[in-house]
Amino acid sequence: LNRRLAEFGTTVFAEMSALALRTGAINLGQGFPDTDGPEEVREAAVRALRDGRGNQYPPGPGIPELRTAIAAHQQRRYGLSVDPDTEVLVTAGATEAIAASLLALVEPGDEVIALEPYYDSYAACIAMAGGTRVPVTLRPGEGRFRLDLDELRDAVTDRTRLLLINTPHNPTGTVLTREELASIAELAVERDLLVVTDEVYEHLVFDGAEHIPLASFPGMRDRTVTISSAGKTFSFTGWKVGWITASPQLVRAVRSAKQYLTYVSAGPFQYAVAEALALPESYFTGFRADMLAKRDVLAAGLEKAGLTVYRPSGTYFITADIRPLGETDGIAFCRALPERAGVVAIPTAVFYDHREMGAPFVRFAFCKRADVLREATARLSGLR
């Protein structure tokens, strides 16, 4: 392994999912649903396979049907007009979108600011691009993990190239507010920064929180790469269909990197995701309501087990503090949890450069069947 990647061995998700398999514990670690997405969308994939649509290399930017559906979604949902021919790129999941964006836009030595705790691929991709990551820590307070806008402002230097934002935020569940996003946008304009914004949980917001794309703020359209994915919104994480929307110039740049990473993304699933994006609004509201109910089951169970819960306004993750249990080291706690309670969770510390700040936090995924969540919380209730 070269020096750029030396600090990134196995991702924590692979490690923890393997631990769940080995011990037979309930896996609330890696974020994937245990129920597949809509039947009609699965049928659409089967039809595409059978009819021979997408079985050979599809077009580089993605099939026109999907690009049109992505543009229509941005218009319908956010009033953003996106040209499907020049302003959309289909990628192999959001993961490739993140990698290709950073590889295309970061020069070696550039600083990239990311919200800490950050999704683990951000750090590895910044490193692969030769960039330097500059974490800005979300700090717990008033029931949520909050962004300190002064700290963000202070983190910008003459070498800062790009802000890497994630809202709704994995792992904390924070949804940045309109005011916070407006301040980020002002800073980006003032300091002439590019922004890559990972919005894969755009449809998972609760309790009246609103997801607002950063691209919709003044001055942001031409400096923002917006990332999303069918994995999260339609519960098909195995399909690896993601996308970016951005200005033609930025899409061209990211596409240059994508061409040499995967060339194109798998064909038949693109036809199915095009149909998924056109599902009636009732699908999206039903999905959100279902996840909200799951959140409340897990949050109540974790509270009963004695943890301090930061009830998330978005995503399908809960971050909890284990200190009320007399524990301080989330990594040790998560390693022992399968034996102790038959449950797997993710230690949030691995998403921090300032590990000590993340030490007492543990992330649990609630995108699981209600009976699984109830069983998990019953098991966790013995922790005290």
Question: What is the contact surface with ligand PMP in residues (CB under 6 A)?
Answer: 31, 93-95, 119, 166, 170, 198, 200, 229, 231, 237, 242
Q: What DSSP string describes 122-138?
A: HHHHHHHTT-EEEEEE-
Residue 270 interacts with which of ligand PMP, ligand GLN, none, CB < 5 to 8 Å by class: none
Instruction: Output the smallest distance, CB 318 to ligand GLN, in A.
Output: 12
Instruction: Output the smallest distance, CB 295 to ligand GLN, in A.
Output: 15
Q: Dihedral of CA 365/225/189/206: which sign?
A: negative
Q: 């543990």: which residue's tokens?
A: 362
Pairwise CA distance, residues 316 & 231, whole Å:
12
Judged by CB under 6 A, which of 8, 13, 78, 284 binds ligand GLN? 13
Per CB under 6 A, 30 contacts ligand GLN: yes
Instruction: Output the smallest distance, CB 35 to ligand GLN, in A.
Output: 16
Residue type, 263: Y
Instruction: Output the smallest distance, CB 121 to ligand GLN, in A.
Output: 7
Interacting residues with ligand GLN between 153 and 182 (CB under 6 A): 170
- Residue 138 CB burial class (10 angstroms; 0-12, 13-18, ≥19): buried
Nearer to ligand PMP, 174 or 183 (CB): 174
Nearer to ligand PMP, 233 or 377 (CB): 233
Pairwise CA distance, residues 142 & 159, whole Å:
33
Pairwise CA distance, residues 237 & 233, whole Å:
9
Pairwise CA distance, residues 321 & 357, whole Å:
11
Judged by CB under 6 A, which of 31, 242, 267, 330 binds ligand GLN? 31
Instruction: Output the smallest distance, CB 383 to ligand GLN, in A.
Output: 22
Residue of closest CB approach to ligand GLN: 31
Instruction: Output the smallest distance, CB 95 to ligand GLN, in A.
Output: 7
What Å distances lie between residue 352 and 10, 149, 324, 381, CA to CA?
16, 18, 21, 28
Return the ∠ at Cα 363 (arms to 166 and 300), rounded to 5°: 115
Count of residues that interact with ligand GLN, criterion CB under 6 A? 5
* Site residues, ligand GLN (CB under 6 A): 11, 13, 30-31, 170
